[in-house]
């Protein structure tokens, strides 16, 4: 493993620990039946950046979210009746994950986990890939595991092409 890869791996772990886990834990809090969440990522042009990296979260009452059902819900803009059976009918928590910058910091951290050649007109099921699994543990903590495959390792740590003002929260 190269030094750059180790550094990016540590940066990803730090981002997940400082931003993603608190975001998911906040979403878990009001619904004790939620057991897992899956962060999916995609890279495509959006507004001012052609290399922006975007995310969606699929929340679930299942031990492991049903990815097909979650993506179908995003594609159809319908409630996810598999992952959220009998519960709150949301797909993504209100608000935005603190620290997520589509046009900046998300690119070096997650572009390597995204499909090539996606665009904003594609269905979520065509563009987004699973990346990070979150689980609520019996002790009340939320834990994360990167489950995505680094399919474009040459983009691990790549600098954003766009050099405008950051949109980081």
> Tens digits of per-residue pLDDT, 16-34?
999 999 999 998 998 899 9
Q: What is the pTM of this model?
A: 0.88
What is the number of domains present in the chain?
Answer: 1
Contact assessment for residue 151 and residue 82, using Cβ atoms and an 8 Å cutoff = no
Question: Residue 43: in which H helix or E strand, if any?
Answer: strand 36-43
Residues of the chain with pLDDT under 50: 91-94, 165-169
Eight-class DSSP state of 154: G
> What domain range includes position 41?
3-155
> Three-class SS of residue 12?
helix
- Other C-beta atoms closer than 10 Å to the C-beta of 117 total 9
Residue 9 lies in a domain: yes
Bridge partners for 29 per DSSP: none
Q: How far apart are CA 4 and CA 23, in angstroms?
A: 27
Residue 147 lies in a domain: yes
Residue 10 lies in a domain: yes
In this prediction, residue 93 carries a pLDDT of: 46
Residue 41 lies in a domain: yes
Contact assessment for residue 169 and residue 99, using Cβ atoms and an 8 Å cutoff = yes
> Tens digits of per-residue pLDDT, 43-73?
997 666 678 999 999 999 999 999 999 999 8
Residue 168 lies in a domain: no
Residue 50 lies in a domain: yes
Residue 162 lies in a domain: no
Token pair listed for 88: 């709150």
Residue 165 lies in a domain: no
């Amino acid at each position: 493993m190269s030094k750059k890869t180790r550094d990016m791996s540590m940066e990803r772990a730090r981002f997940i620990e400082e931003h993603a886990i608190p975001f998911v834990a906040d979403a878990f809090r009001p619904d004790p039946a939620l057991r897992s969440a899956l962060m999916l990522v995609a890279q495509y042009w959006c507004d001012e950046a052609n290399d922006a990296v975007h995310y969606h979260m699929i929340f679930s009452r299942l031990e492991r979210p049903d990815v097909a059902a979650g993506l179908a819900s995003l594609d159809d803009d319908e409630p996810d009746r598999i992952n959220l059976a009998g519960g709150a009918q949301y797909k993504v928590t209100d608000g935005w994950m603190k620290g997520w910058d589509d046009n900046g910091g998300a690119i070096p951290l997650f572009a390597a986990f995204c499909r090539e050649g996606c665009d904003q007109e594609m269905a979520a099921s065509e563009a987004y890939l699973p990346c990070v699994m979150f689980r609520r543990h019996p002790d009340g903590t939320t834990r994360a595991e990167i489950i995505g495959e680094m399919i474009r390792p040459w983009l691990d740590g790549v600098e954003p092409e766009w050099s405008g003002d950051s949109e980081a929260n």
